[in-house]
Amino acid sequence: MSKILHITKDNFETEVIKSDKPVLLDFWASWCGPCKMVSPIVDQIANENSSIKVGKVNIDEESELAQTFRVMSIPTLVAVKDGKVINSTVGVQPKQNILKLLAE
């Protein structure tokens, strides 16, 4: 069972870039309705898949990371493997589509 990480600019390199597992990043904000719809799906993926890391990035608190990933709309989901972005998607997605992001 994975725990969901709160990703900040301070732990980004350790938890994402240097991760030995693929990482799913969920860029969100507390005022975002669609983010609230996708959040339980992301939580479920984290709890069911110990082979991946799941991190959430609050764009209001971590605007630098949002800019780095060129996040224009939320929710934005980004899959990172070996320190590189392998896939991303914007908007509410079904669980199967989110899992496909990680299957490079």
Active-site annotation, residues: 32, 35
User: Measured between alpha carbons, how far is 51 from 19 in angstroms, rounded to an integer?
Assistant: 11
User: Measured between alpha carbons, how far is 46 from 71 in angstroms, rounded to an integer?
Assistant: 22
Closest CA to 39 of 56, 62, 16: 56
Q: Between β-strands 53-58 and 4-6, what pairing exists: parallel, antiparallel or unpaired?
A: parallel
